[in-house]
């Protein structure tokens, strides 16, 4: 009798919608997953920095991070970023993603990607409920309710228990990776970002099996 195939473990990530490092990491991960391992699910959990840090992410910090990423890492991304839309709470968008994951994992993936593209590539202001509704409708998902808003806080609690240290923090099987594709440092007060080749290879090998 033939044994059934071993289920492929999902890749889990705790991340904020307004984190530009997550946008880069998920963009690359989804592209590779879609190309070589479309059977692997990606569960994007909420890690709301405004609660973790006790304040909304400031536009000045986002603009600095995005400029560094454009210059050194991802020149094709962040084409439509509009700093005037910030500070912006990520909680409504995170709740919309939770609502989509309640439908199924692919809907959750689509919304998780769409809300980040809306902010960073199209300059849409997700403080506007109509913008969120439009994203949900494009995937066939309604607006979030109290259950979904509670799911965001539950993700935060679970993330703390799992040792999440920031956005993005990935988990697969018994391994975890914090911001695995980037080396980030400050030199004389200036933000320095470079591509972490060794970290990227280890991460993709573990998550997607590519050597």
- pLDDT tens sequence across 157-209: 999 999 999 999 999 988 999 999 899 988 887 898 999 888 888 899 888 88
Spatial separation of the C-alpha atoms in residues 107 and 200, rounded to whole Å: 26
Write the CB contacts of 79 (distance below 8 Å, at least 6 apart in sequence).
121
How many domains does the chain contain in total? 1
Any domain includes 5: no
Spatial separation of the C-alpha atoms in residues 211 and 158, rounded to whole Å: 31
Any domain includes 46: yes
Residue 16 belongs to domain with CATH number: 3.40.30.10
Res 158: pLDDT: 97
* pLDDT tens-place string over residues 3-31: 444 445 589 999 999 999 999 999 999 99
3-state secondary structure of 66: helix
Any domain includes 2: no
Cβ–Cβ under 8 Å, residues 50 and 90: yes
Spatial separation of the C-alpha atoms in residues 207 and 48, rounded to whole Å: 24
- What secondary structure does DSSP assign to 153-190, as a single string? HHHHHHHHHHT--SSSEEEETTEEEESTTEEEEEETTE
Cβ–Cβ under 8 Å, residues 143 and 96: yes
Spatial separation of the C-alpha atoms in residues 93 and 135, rounded to whole Å: 10
Any domain includes 122: yes
Residue 66 predicted with pLDDT over 70 = yes
Any domain includes 52: yes
Any domain includes 131: yes
List the domain range (segments joined by +) for residue 148: 11-178+196-208
* pLDDT tens-place string over residues 81-95: 999 989 899 999 999
Any domain includes 189: no
Any domain includes 71: yes
Cβ–Cβ under 8 Å, residues 129 and 78: no
Cβ–Cβ under 8 Å, residues 46 and 155: yes
Cβ–Cβ under 8 Å, residues 130 and 140: no
* pLDDT tens-place string over residues 37-64: 999 999 999 999 999 999 999 999 999 9
Total residues found in the chain within this entry: 211
């Amino acid at each position: 009798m033939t044994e059934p195939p071993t289920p492929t473990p999902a890749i889990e990530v705790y991340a904020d919608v307004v984190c530009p490092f997550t946008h880069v990491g998920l963009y690359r991960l989804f592209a590779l997953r879609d190309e070589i391992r479309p059977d692997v699910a990606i569960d994007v959990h909420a890690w709301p920095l405004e609660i973790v840090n006790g304040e909304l992410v400031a536009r000045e910090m986002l603009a600095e991070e995005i400029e560094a990423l454009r210059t050194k890492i991802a020149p094709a991304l962040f084409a439509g970023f509009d700093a005037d839309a910030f500070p912006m709470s990520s909680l409504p968008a995170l709740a919309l993603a939770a609502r989509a994951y309640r439908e199924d994992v692919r809907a959750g993936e689509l919304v998780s990607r769409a809300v980040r593209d809306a902010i960073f590539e199209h300059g849409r202001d997700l403080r506007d409920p109509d913008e969120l509704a439009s994203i949900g409708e494009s995937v066939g998902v309604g607006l979030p309710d109290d259950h979904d808003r509670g799911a965001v806080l539950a993700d935060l609690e679970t993330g703390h228990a799992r040792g999440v240290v920031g956005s993005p923090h990935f988990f697969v099987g018994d391994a975890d990776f914090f911001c695995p594709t980037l080396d980030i440092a400050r030199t004389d007060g200036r933000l320095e970002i470079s591509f972490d080749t060794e970290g990227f290879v280890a991460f993709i090998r573990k998550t997607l099996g590519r050597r």
